[in-house]
Structure 1
């Protein structure tokens, strides 16, 4: 009698094993067919989805950064009635530096060449504000600083902020 219980137990284990094997083959066999017969190949999109999302978010943040440091937006946002030139200069430079520091980690997800352009644009914007102050009297108003910077921007043939946003968009399109 013990031998019959043993065979009954062994046959039920064998049946369960066959069922599990068939289920596994059915589930992974479809994946293997989709991957050209290679059962070890996993879908690539699932593995890279989180990094792709991070890269897209980084590009979005860089577009926002470039837009926020654009003098046309920056000076309008920071302007206060009666603000002195030195106060507006300090506010503008601090705002640019703060925005940049807030987004510094995004360089991990943006192409190196694009990051270098963004960093140079930040430095050039600070230099533009500082140079505009040099050409004005010390008692000038913040309005004069804004006019001076915006006049300089109007003389530039191609808007560097628009060009940088275009470069960021090109990077995004390369991801797809």
Structure 2
């Protein structure tokens, strides 16, 4: 009886080992196939998403260019000599452009979006700071002071555009 059990064990042991090896290879193969399918789906999704991301970067570049103080002053003409009304008009234009492009944040990185928001806020802050000066009494003088502020230094928009360019280059690396 004991001899039969040992003999049965010798017959079953190779089958069990073969079954375990087959299970291991089948499991590994399944995981590899799942990874490959996931990679192919990701690659296919990238084909659709990349144009959307590039379009978002283009729109954000356009936004940042529009709020560049020199461009803003050219595009937003004062409706009167009242400097406070012109200040509000400039800020309203910036906020309006921002709200128009707010949906693009889902396609750019958080860091890029934060830099774009910082550029917007810094531009508004500079306009408000300049408008608070007692020396500036008219909208024409406000325009001139804003332009003079950025003659020798980079605007917040320039920093944002540099960062956007860097991110777009990383998309192709």
Correspondence 1:147 to 2:144: yes
Kept in 1, the 8 Å contact 2:57–2:168? The answer is yes
1:105 — aligned with what?
Answer: 103
Structure 1 residues 162 and 39, CA gap change in structure 2 (3 angstroms): closer
Q: How far does residue 163 in structure 1 lie from its aligned partner after superposition?
A: 2.2
Match of 1:120 in 2: 118
2:157 paired residue number: 161
Cα drift, residue 109 of structure 1: 1.0
Normalising by structure 2, we get a TM-score of 0.71
**Which residue in the other structure is 2:52 paired with?**
54
How far apart in 2 are the matches of 1:130 and 1:119?
Answer: 17
Other structure's SS at 2:150 match: helix
- Residue 105 of structure 1 deviates from its aligned partner by 1.4
> 4+ residue stretches of structure 1 with deviation over 4 A?
38-41
Contact 2:69 2:155 in 1 (8 A): no
Asked if 1:86 corresponds to 2:84, the answer is: yes
Cα shift readout 1:66-118 (whole Å, capped 9, x = no counterpart)? 00001101111111475421121111000111111111111111111111111
Kindly tell me: are residues 161 and 104 of structure 1, through their superposed partners in 2, closer, same or farther at Cα, counting changes over 3 Å?
same
Give 1:174's aligned residue.
170
How many residues were matched structurally? 137
CA RMSD of aligned residues (A): 2.2
Structure 2 segments unaligned to the other structure (5+ residues): 1-34
